Structures are given as structure tokens and as C-alpha cells.
Chain A
Amino acid sequence: MLPSETVQLLCLTASSGVPLFSRGSCKQLPFSVIGSLNGVHMFGAGQGALLSSCETERDSRVAWRVFQDSLMLIAVSGTAGASSELHLRRLLENAWNCMVLVLGQDELANVRNVERLKRELRSCYRLIDRLLERGGKDQGFMGDLTHCADCLLPSQPGILQETLDSFTRAADSEFGCLLVRGRLALATDKWWRLAPQEVVLLSALVNSLSGTTSCDYPVFLPQGSPTVAHRLLCFQLLPGVVACVLCGPSPSLQRAESELVGRFWSPVVEALRVCLEQAERSTLPPSVRLRWDVEALLIINRESRRAVAVCPHARGHTPSEVPPLSSPAHRWELLRAFYTFAVTRYFTSEEPVALPTSPPSATAERLHEEFSLGFTHLPVQCYLVTDDCKCYGLQTPQHQLFLLTDLSVPTFALRTVATHTLNAISTPTGF
């Protein structure tokens, strides 16, 4: 249906099937195909069946979802089979969240004037296109897939955390965070209590504004405040270091910038520079030493829904005959693929339940859950050996680790390497 490696996202009104927009992929699907895709879903609904996804003979995949009984989103992937069902389902949910973030739920749930809505939806294109292009995939951002915030662990968080807390309070807010090279380095307690998807989405919004010095964006929180907008204020302290607060009507952008930014952040500018330098090397503090045969890893804190992804630039202390590492982009891709493999087959409890606001899909998720409950046991570890690398997944009550190692690691030793790596990260950093 589409060229390989591409995904197209379609949006239609759920009741009448009027196309509202189509993003992604250079060549748009013909209207007849869009109509058929909508029709087949509608036919299913008429028969009391919910069509949520399908795969074509040529490895193309389609996923449907209706939000708020108002809008239907359809994702269609190209023929390479590169997009998993998980990816498409997350894409639909993320795209909807983007639309709520920019326009608010009222605008989307009660469509009064289709032409007006079409025009307004244009304001969501920047975020949606970033999602489709998977902006930042070469830097290993995985929040769109994991729904965990992409974090980095600064080596000396103390003083910066204090500064962030007092800066946030001074801006009449309790929600503040510090992003370094696009990743969350610090956040206030309240920020961590936002829904994980919201944390991911807000980071994505800030990262899409890389050039601006400061900004004031109205945002609706898809879960926390879908109908009342808050203001997201962002301040680029140094290129690559952004402080954000989520606040109400005051302070004005100008006042926050002229009165608060310098007062709170100037005294710690050196600490910020250190943090920035560290971020250029790794998402982990220098005190964490990884084994040389670790090619990439993703560690998730299951309670706080935070994730740290690591892809070493070079091997440390290598035996000389070892071939060099493959490109980071390739390893990030493998890590995403292994994550998808592990959470869809083994660590299924991590699969989030759908938004409570959309009954049809909630039914689907419940069915899926009942199916998983049919298993008498819950896998806690899994592994996979490929031509490129060996993969190991590990689940504890607190953490999940997805590890890619060099082929030279003996398969029987993978568990030890994984356990050792998990401890090497979690013990010194308290992650």
C-alpha cells in the first residue's frame, strides 16, 4: 500500500468518515483506500466487532482507533514490516495526545464545524510529524514507544535540584523540570506525578523548539487537564539546557525571564555546564562503569516510569581483536526492536491499559488482559540471540532491563552480565 519504512496517519470524523488530515509518507493514499479503511472498521462495528489492527499479505499493517466517539485515527505502515503493532498502537495514542495537548479535548470531542476543525488541526502538524519521523531516533529517544520519560542521570544533582525547586516555586508553580540535550535530568516531585505519557509529550514539545530562547505555550494535559489549558514556560539557559515550568496565568513570560531566570540559575551556571558536558558523553554519570561488551541498554524504573537508554560511543578496555561498534542509529533500532519483542511476548504486564475515556478500546485491552491472565506464570527474564548481537531482558519488581551485548558473550553468561549491569547502574545512582 505504501513505500517501505513509512507510516501514514489518517484522521477522520468517526461518525461520518470525513477525512480531516493525513500526515507522513510522501505519497498520500488515494481517497478510495481511505474510504475503504474507514468502511471496513464501520462494517465491523455494525456487526458488534471491534477491528483494531490487521496485517496485509505484503507485511503492511493497519491500526484503527476511535477517540471520544468523535475522531478516528488510522495508522498505515509500509511494506517493510518495520513497524510493529505496538508501535502503531502507541502512535495512535501519542497522536491523539498531541492533538489534545494543542487544542484541548473539548475542541476534538464535540465537532461542530468540520471545516474549522480541519484548519485548527493544522496546529498539531509539527508535533505529529515529529512523531511520524520519529524525531530524535538517532539520539535514542524511546519515550514514544516505552511511555517512560527519557532521562539522564546527572552526577551531582543536589544543588541543581534545589535550584530547580526554588525556581519553580518562585514561578508560582509546583511543576518544573530541567532538560539537558532533550532528556529529563531533573524534575520536581509534582512533575514526576504527571501521567508518564504527558511527561514524554511535554519533553517532545520542548525538544521541537530547539532554536528559541524562551517560550510560552498553552498546553492541555491529556490526562491531568484535558479541558483547561496551562502555560508551559521554557527557558534555554545554555544551548541544550532548558528549564521548564508549568504554570497558571502568572508570571508573564517577560517577568519570569527578566526577574527569575538570572537570579536562580546564574549562580549554578558552572554546574549546568558540567551536566551538559556529561550529557554529551553519556546518559549515565561517569561513576558508572559498564562492561566493554555492552552494546546498548535500556533500563526502566517501573515505579517512577523513568527510563535511561545508553549506547556507548566506544568500547572501554577492549581486547584488540574485537570489531568496532556498529553505528548508534543501528543499535538504537535493535534496542527498540528487542524492547517491542520482550514486552509484547513476555513482559506483557507492562502493556498499559487504554485510556479510560475510550470505551471501545478499553474493551479490547480487557480482552487482551484476560488472555494474558490465562497464563499460569509470568516470565521475568528472556533472551534472544541474533546475527548482530545477543539480547537479554530482565524484570524485577522495581526495574526492567533490556540489554544488547556483543556476540562474544557466551549465552549462558548473559543472565550474569545483565544482573551485574543492572546493579552497576542502580546501586551507585539510586535509580
Chain B
Amino acid sequence: MPTVPPGSIFVTDWHRSPESREYFNKILYKKKRRKFGLLEAPVMPPNLKADTVRYKVFISGKSGVGKTALAARLTGLEIPNVHYETTGMETSVVFWPVKLRESGRVLFFHFQLWDCGENVMCRFDHMLPSCEEQADAILLLFSFTDHGSFEDISNQMPRLTDPSDRVVRLVVGTKFDLFMHTDVTESEITAFQEVWGVPVFRVGGDVSSGMGEIAPLLNALAENLWHQDCAHASNSLSPPS
């Protein structure tokens, strides 16, 4: 499914608008991102009702590209400064409020990010099926400092762009801050985007408490998932031709 241009369904940069503050305050605690246990969710006062929609997002990529670090970045947790291999499967939860452009309705997206170490995935075969089972979206990660990881994704793309399945796929380049060591050129990224019609997101560097760094990726993810669901709903409603 082709990706939707940013801002076509949701209000762009809503996290900057003052009216969103009450919603974003629910995902903050003492100016940092609030941690949610499984039995918790942001609770809005009755006059500001917001429905929650849940999606499973699988973070995929070569060992060491920064899957765990991306999950930590999106959930607002401390990004580990030493790289340790993830020796199992981990999930973490992100709540993200958005406002629909047309109806003005506010939704809380509940992303469950699935992260699994590449090596442990090879040693135990229940891991990959478990991550892919009922996944609504896949984030394909490569590292700007590792050309091989970028080639892997380019090679996987023909297999992945099957229009029949209902999975949103976004490509994320990590370690963009290490531009001194960058191994993937800007022209390669442009070419990739043109060929596959998939935007490439760039992450890396320090995270301040602001939402600016993560908002483009989370909004794109939410917008594409919402678009996919709407398209599917209208398809299944229309009479068979």
C-alpha cells in the first residue's frame, strides 16, 4: 500500500498546538515521558473523551542497528549508552495522541513496539513468528553507519511490497547523528525513496524531552495505520463486483 503524505489525515504538528497540551500532559510525568504498566492507560476527563486504538509494531533490522535504542527513544526511556545484545523478545508501549483533520476527533494511538535480538531470533524459532503474528506495522531499520544494513533493506523491498497484506512498512535510518562515519549517501536515500515510494525517516542523537524528534515518525506511523484500516473497512463494505 502506498504511504500517505504527512498531514493528509491528521493535523500536522499537533503536538505544538496549545489545544493538544491537555492530551500530551497525560503522557508526561514531571516533564518526562510517563511510563505505563499494562494495567494503565492515559485517562481523560469526560469532556475531553479520546478513544484508544491499539496497534502492534514490529521493529526489524540487523543486529546492532539500534532496534532497542529506537524503542527506548519512542517510549521516552533512557537510551542505553552501551550496546548490549537483546537476548529475548521485548515489548514496550507508546501512547500518542492525534487529531483527525476532518472530524476534529482526538485519538490515542497505543503502539506496542516489538523488539527482538537478531541472534536470539536465529537460535529460537518461535521468536520471529511471534513478532510477525498479527503485526499491523513493521519498522525496517538500517544504520547510517553500516551500508550492509541498508543494502539488506533494499534487497528485501521487492518481497515486502506485497499490496495484498495489511501491514504498514516504514523505513528508518538510525545513528544519523554520526554523520562523520556515515556510510549511506543522501543520493542513495533519494533513489531508494523514488524507487519504492516509501519515505525514509532519520533518527539519532540526543533526545531532549521535547516531542519534536519523534513526532514525525509516530505521526506517519499513526496516519498510515489509520489510512490502512479505513481503506480496508471501505473495501469490505463495498459490494463485491
Chain A interface residues (CB < 8 Å from chain B): 102, 120, 122-123, 125-126, 129, 209, 211-218, 229, 232, 235-239, 241, 249, 252-254, 257, 261-262, 265-266, 269, 272
Contacts and interface: CB of A to CB of B under 8 A. Distances in A.
A212 B90 contact: yes
B93 interface: yes
Interface residues of B, number: 32
Contact of A239 (B37, B90, B119, B123): B37
Given A213-B112, A216-B88, 4 more contacts: A120-B119, A209-B90, A218-B124, A269-B39
A212 B138 CA distance: 19
A123 B37 contact: no
A253 B89 contact: yes
A216 B112 contact: no
B198 interface: no
A204 to B, nearest CB: 13
B23 to A, nearest CB: 20
A261 B38 CA distance: 8
B154 interface: no
Contact of B37 (A125, A215, A238, A254): A238
B19 to A, nearest CB: 28
Contacts of A218: 87-88, 120, 123-124
B35, B88, B92, B124 — most chain A CB neighbours (10 Å): B88
Nearest to B88: A217
B75 A211 contact: yes
Interface of B is mostly: loop
B211 interface: no
B90 to A, nearest CB: 4
Contacts of A238: 37, 39-40
Contacts of B126: 249, 252
B52 interface: no
B35 A239 contact: yes
24 contacts: A120-B119, A123-B87, A125-B85, A211-B72, A213-B36, A213-B37, A213-B38, A215-B88, A215-B90, A216-B127, A217-B88, A218-B124, A229-B124, A235-B38, A236-B38, A238-B37, A239-B37, A252-B126, A252-B130, A252-B133, A253-B89, A253-B91, A254-B133, A262-B38
Q: Is the interface of A mostly helix, strand, loop or mixed?
A: mixed
Interface string B5-42: 00000000000000000000000000000011111100
A216 B89 contact: yes
Which are the 5 A-B pairs with shortest beta-carbon distances?
A217-B88, A238-B37, A126-B84, A212-B90, A211-B77
A237 B39 CA distance: 5
Contacts of A241: 37
Contacts of A254: 56, 130, 133-134
Contacts of B92: 211-213
A235 B93 CA distance: 12
Nearest to A261: B38
Given A123-B85, A123-B117, A126-B84, A212 B91 contact: yes
A341 to B, nearest CB: 34
Contacts of A262: 38-39
A236 B112 CA distance: 13
Contacts of B37: 213, 236-239, 241
A209 B85 CA distance: 12
B87 A102 contact: yes
B49 to A, nearest CB: 21
Nearest to A240: B37
A14 to B, nearest CB: 24
Nearest to B123: A218
Contact of A213 (B82, B87, B91, B134): B91
Contacts of A215: 88-91
Contacts of B134: 254
Contacts of A257: 38, 91
Interface string B105-140: 000000010000101100110110010011000000
A216 B130 contact: yes
Contacts of B77: 211
A265 B40 CA distance: 11
Contact of B120 (A123, A126, A232): A123
Contacts of A102: 87
Contacts of B75: 211
Contacts of B130: 216, 252-254
B119 A266 contact: no
A237 B38 contact: yes
Nearest to A214: B91
B17 to A, nearest CB: 29
Contacts of A266: 39
B96 to A, nearest CB: 15
Contacts of B40: 238
Contacts of B78: 211
A126 B120 CA distance: 14
Contacts of A235: 38
A266 B72 CA distance: 26
A287 B218 CA distance: 48
B168 to A, nearest CB: 18
B85 A122 contact: yes
